[in-house]
Amino acid sequence: MSFRQRYTGLIERYRDRLPVHDDTRIISLGEGNTPLIRLHNIPSMLGKNVDIYVKYEGLNPTGSFKDRGMTMAVTKAVEEGSKAIICASTGNTSASAAAYAARAGITAFVLIPDGKIAQGKLAQAMMEGAVIVQIMGNFDDGMRLVKEVAVESPVTIVNSINPFRLQGQKTAAFEIVEELGRAPDYHCLPVGNAGNITAHWIGYSEYACGEAESVTAACTLCQGHCRFAGAITGQRPKMVGYQASGSAPFMRGKMVDNPETVATAIRIGHPQSWDQAWIVNKESGGWFDECTDDEILEAQKLLAEREGVFCEPASATSLAGAMRDIKSGKIEASSTVVCTLTGHGLKDPDTAIAQSTAPVVKVEAKLDQVKKAIHDNLG
């Protein structure tokens, strides 16, 4: 009998494309290798001939795409002798940092905005033994403080300003190209700090690079970490970034000081990868746009109801925007579109339950009443 080789995470899988050595101790929870699900019902609802795939990053070990970056960042922090990591977070980064720190046997400090993170994420960080610092401020305040404190204290920052984070996250693009056999025409993502859209562009670019003998066009985004730096010979998608209207600095063309949105994961007004994201925008020929909270929640619900895929509100921003741009024709017919679903729906049960209109029928524990409930609700 033969067994398929055990999957042991994205660093092992893409070792030759990541900054690790043969003897590097890899801190992994088996992240990556997430499903790319082809939507069946939503495209026909839109009445357009497009192929929409969702990359379900909510199925990573801690339920979000952050694990791709965190396995790399924590692996490198440990390699460099760090005993503690720190991040500011709207929730998912803290859950991921806490888990990988626990795995590595080091300490995680997480700065979270008081009262503005989803329950699931808080539960994770608490269970995984992080030191939780709740600040009376938002993510952007936390990020500023993290940068300041790291100057003096022996802690490694694991927010996406840590270049190893983007190196890990670029592997999502590799998986997509390998599965589709080519890059999609459009790749849509929710944008907060814009680290993930930048990481995907690095990934697609690296994959589309010829293996040049000499470096002809050094990548402006990867900060020297890409192994391949030849001229771009392959196809790359247009990168489309969607923000929540109440926290859409890329649409305003400037930082937003008091960001608000139901999609707390992307309640970010001062994106850390501002310059990089504009480069991605320009190089890929894509665009930024915004979605209202109502559009975001509607897309979240539609995806769950029509396709059985449950993502958190921020994640649905990619689909909300894509659906609008497909309907308007901005995303042309016959295109292949990938939408990243950055986090799992279970992260934020409160928002889900609050907006659900699912028929909850309360009955006595009697056969006739259950029968009636079925009869009344048969589609």
Enumerate the H helices of 130-194 as residue ranges. 139-152, 163-169, 171-180
Interaction of residue 196 with ligand AN7, rule CB under 6 A: yes
Among 246, 249, 343, 345, binds ligand AN7 (CB under 6 A): 343
Measure the CA–CA gap between 123 and 142, rounded to whole angstroms.
19
Interaction of residue 167 with ligand AN7, rule CB under 6 A: no
Nearer to ligand AN7, 128 or 229 (CB): 128
Measure the CA–CA gap between 241 and 290, rounded to whole angstroms.
8
Q: With the C-alpha atoms ordered 17, 58, 100, 118, is the resulting torsion angle positive or negative?
A: positive
Among 85, 314, 320, 338, binds ligand AN7 (CB under 6 A): 314
Measure the CA–CA gap between 178 and 204, rounded to whole angstroms.
11
Among 194, 209, 256, 303, binds ligand AN7 (CB under 6 A): 194
Q: Nearest distance from residue 42's CB to ligand AN7, in Å?
A: 19
Measure the CA–CA gap between 204 and 71, rounded to whole angstroms.
20
Among 193, 276, 281, 335, binds ligand AN7 (CB under 6 A): 193
Residue 310: what are its φ and ψ, rounded to 5°?
-105, 115
Question: In what side-by-side order are the strands of the sheet with 51-56?
Answer: 36-38, 51-56, 336-341, 186-190, 238-244, 287-291
Among 75, 89, 138, 167, binds ligand AN7 (CB under 6 A): 89
Interaction of residue 92 with ligand AN7, rule CB under 6 A: yes
Measure the CA–CA gap between 282 and 228, rounded to whole angstroms.
21
**Segment contacting ligand AN7 (CB under 6 A): 44-52, 88-96, 321-329, 361-369?**
88-96
Nearer to ligand AN7, 70 or 183 (CB): 70
Angle in degrees, CA 153, 125, 307, rounded to 5: 135
Interaction of residue 64 with ligand AN7, rule CB under 6 A: yes
Interaction of residue 209 with ligand AN7, rule CB under 6 A: no
Interaction of residue 93 with ligand AN7, rule CB under 6 A: yes
Interaction of residue 342 with ligand AN7, rule CB under 6 A: yes
Q: Nearest distance from residue 339's CB to ligand AN7, in Å?
A: 12
* Cα 130 versus chain centre, distance: 21
Interaction of residue 281 with ligand AN7, rule CB under 6 A: no
Beta bridge partners of 343: 64
Interaction of residue 90 with ligand AN7, rule CB under 6 A: yes
Q: 15 vs 32, 171, 188, 327, CA distance in Å?
A: 13, 10, 26, 40
Residues 246-265 that bind ligand AN7 (CB under 6 A): 265
Q: Nearest distance from residue 311's CB to ligand AN7, in Å?
A: 8
Nearer to ligand AN7, 187 or 229 (CB): 187
- Residue 218 is which amino acid? A
Catalog residues that contact ligand AN7 under the rule CB under 6 A: 64, 89-93, 160, 190-196, 265-266, 312, 314-315, 342-343
